[in-house]
């Protein structure tokens, strides 16, 4: 009797401690992945099996993250009734909280317009800035010493346009919206592989109905995926007459430390990603069901803790505690290694850009209706903020029709990047700087 009481006390103390420490690790990011599986598992492949399979279980202490997510719903008015409240800024539709400034026609706008979810902006932010080895400059060798490198950065020029039957399948990202694909289904199941293994072990060894505790997160995630809220897709390309009336516009986006970004394109092509694309189509029944699933996932840990204290045999108690400790460590790793970005549509677009070379650095986004957008990327690497700002300002000083993105002149800083170049000014073509290997994305 004494041993059983002592075991229960230990289990209670450890469970409470894990619940407190683990709840601090989980963030509302995990519920963004839950509510939009098409986007967050769109890039799942064998390369992601370790990260997705071992860092994404939802059977741990998720109660605090669930409460935070529900608080967001309440603050945005989603509990008030049908078609009330705002989805933007909740787990249903993430808000980047970034702003843009439209430069055409002059004068530029105030710069307070919001990017909102901004798919292409998030994709550009995921392209790594290439590190460059510092040359050992020797004054006696005749090489000019380089200035101190404070913060290497990049100026991104993205041209968005409607694609008319020209999309390369190898560079096209699909299924960001719409029906659940087999890839998404497989990723969801694989993300709970550790819970499935524990549940099967409990059934085989203890033959206990408590195995449902390990199967419950997967069941809820699949239910959420199959009843996910539909979202708004791409705009259809405008008719020829309407397209001729549209003018090119340039949008400067503040990326907060992720380099400079200037997007150029027709207003309808660009602004849809700052406004409606990906926004949930309101459906009260599905909204309430998704909220209920979040509540249920938040209750998985309390239910398991109560069951371990009252009904589970001692061996099963320690197995449950061990799994909770593992889930807590996985959540901390997930949080601080930015695994939230793993296998997403944004990372897939970033990879398509990274795979291209020079003028081939393009990526396509296509919805279920066949509407396709083309993104064409140019990058110029700079050694500090001032250089990047100068490149951007020089480009913005020109009119859109006089400053095609295909040819961007980098005045005044080319000798800083090209120590062995004889020409101080270099015309940079799509996606790289000639004779400069660092202009290529790793």
Which carries the bigger pLDDT value, residue 407 or residue 362?
362
Q: How confident is the model at residue 140 (pLDDT cuts 50, 70, 90)?
A: very low
Kindly state the average pLDDT of the residues 425-437: 36
Contacts of 408 (CB under 8 A, 6+ apart): 157, 378, 380, 391, 395, 427, 428
H helix runs in 174-313, sequence order: 182-191, 193-205, 212-226, 240-245, 267-271, 284-310
More confident residue, 435 or 36: 36
List CB contacts of 140: < 8 A, sequence separation 6 or more: none
Q: What is the pLDDT of residue 151?
A: 75
Asked if residue 426 has pLDDT above 50, the reply is: no
Task: Determine the pLDDT at residue 147.
Answer: 61
Would you state the pLDDT for residue 400?
Answer: 62
Structure confidence at residue 407 (pLDDT): 53
Candidate from 70-79, 290-299, 358-367, 378-387 with smallest mean pLDDT: 358-367
Helix (H, G, I), strand (E, B) or coil at 140: helix
Q: pLDDT tens digit string along 157-203? A: 999 999 887 788 889 998 889 888 999 999 999 999 999 999 999 99
Highest-pLDDT range among 105-119, 223-237, 392-406: 223-237
Specify the higher pLDDT residue, 367 or 240: 367
pLDDT of residue 254: 80
C-alpha span between 389 and 408 (Å, rounded): 14
The 3-state DSSP class for residue 428 equals strand
- Kind plus residue range of the DSSP H or E element containing 252: strand 248-254
Closest CA to 261 of 130, 405, 147, 397: 405
Higher pLDDT, 296 or 21: 296
- On average, the pLDDT of the chain sits at 82
384: confidence class by pLDDT, cuts 50, 70, 90: confident
Q: Report whether pLDDT(432) > 80.
A: no
The residue with greater pLDDT, 424 or 271, is 271
Q: Which of 4-18, 313-327, 358-372 has the highest mean pLDDT?
A: 313-327
Question: Any idea which residue has 């699909």 for tokens?
Answer: 174
Predicted pLDDT of residue 396: 86
pLDDT score of 441 more than 70: no
Provide the pLDDT confidence category of residue 131 given band limits of 50, 70 and 90: low
The predicted pLDDT at position 258 comes to 80
- φ, ψ of residue 370 in degrees (nearest 5): 90, -5
pLDDT of residue 108: 73
**Residue 78 confidence (pLDDT):** 96
pLDDT at 393 over 80: yes
Three-state SS at 41: coil
Tell me the average pLDDT across 352-361: 77
pLDDT at 41 over 70: yes
Look at residue 411 in the predicted model and tell me its pLDDT: 42
pLDDT digits (tens, 9 = 90+) for 257-303: 788 999 999 989 999 999 999 999 999 999 999 999 999 999 999 99
Residue 410 CA to residue 428 CA, distance in Å, equals 7
Check residue 3 and give its pLDDT.
Answer: 52
Contacts of 380 (CB under 8 A, 6+ apart): 154, 155, 157, 388, 391, 408, 410, 428, 433, 439
More confident residue, 285 or 441: 285
Q: Please check whether residue 350 is in contact with residue 127, taking contact to mean a CB–CB distance below 8 angstroms.
A: yes
The CA–CA distances, whole Å, from 70 to 26, 39, 78, 284 equal: 14, 21, 9, 16
């Amino acid at each position: 009797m004494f041993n059983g009481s002592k075991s229960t006390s230990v289990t209670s103390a450890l469970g409470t401690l894990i619940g407190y420490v683990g709840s601090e690790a989980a963030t509302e990011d995990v519920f963004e992945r839950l509510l939009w599986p098409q986007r967050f598992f769109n890039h799942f492949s064998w390369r992601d099996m370790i990260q997705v399979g071992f860092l994404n279980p939802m059977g741990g202490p998720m109660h605090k993250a669930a409460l935070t997510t529900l608080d967001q719903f309440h603050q945005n008015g989603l509990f008030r009734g049908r078609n009330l409240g705002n989805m933007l800024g909740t787990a249903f539709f993430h808000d980047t909280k970034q702003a843009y400034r439209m430069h055409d026609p002059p004068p530029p706008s105030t710069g307070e317009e919001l990017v909102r979810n901004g798919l292409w902006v998030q994709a550009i932010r995921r392209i790594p800035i290439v590190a460059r080895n510092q040359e050992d400059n020797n004054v006696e060798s005749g090489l000019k010493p380089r200035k101190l490198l404070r913060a290497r950065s990049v100026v991104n020029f993205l041209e968005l346009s409607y694609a008319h039957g020209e999309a390369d399948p190898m560079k096209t990202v699909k299924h960001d919206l719409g029906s659940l694909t087999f890839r998404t289904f497989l990723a969801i199941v694989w993300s709970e592989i550790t819970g499935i293994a524990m549940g099967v072990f409990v059934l085989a060894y203890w033959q206990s109905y408590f195995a449902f505790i390990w199967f419950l997160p997967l069941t809820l995630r699949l239910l959420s995926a199959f009843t996910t809220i539909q979202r708004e897709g791409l705009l259809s390309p405008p008719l020829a007459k309407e397209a001729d009336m549209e003018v090119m516009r340039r949008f400067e986006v503040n990326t907060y430390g992720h380099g400079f970004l200037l997007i150029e394109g027709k207003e309808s092509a660009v602004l849809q990603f700052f406004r409606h694309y990906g926004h949930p189509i309101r459906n009260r029944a599905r909204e309430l069901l998704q909220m209920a699933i979040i509540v249920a996932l938040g209750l998985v840990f309390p239910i398991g803790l109560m069951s371990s204290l009252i009904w589970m045999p001692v061996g099963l108690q320690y197995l449950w505690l061990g799994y909770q400790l593992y889930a807590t460590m996985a959540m901390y790793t997930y949080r601080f290694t930015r695994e939230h970005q793993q296998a997403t549509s944004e990372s897939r677009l970033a990879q398509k850009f990274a795979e291209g070379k020079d003028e081939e650095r393009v990526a396509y986004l296509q919805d279920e209706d066949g509407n396709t957008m083309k993104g064409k990327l140019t990058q110029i690497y700079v050694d500090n903020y001032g250089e990047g700002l100068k490149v951007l300002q020089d480009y913005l000083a020109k009119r859109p029709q006089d400053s095609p993105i295909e040819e961007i002149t980098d005045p005044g800083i080319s000798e800083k990047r090209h120590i062995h170049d004889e020409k101080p000014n270099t015309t940079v073509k799509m996606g790289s700087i000639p004779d400069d290997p660092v202009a290529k994305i790793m």
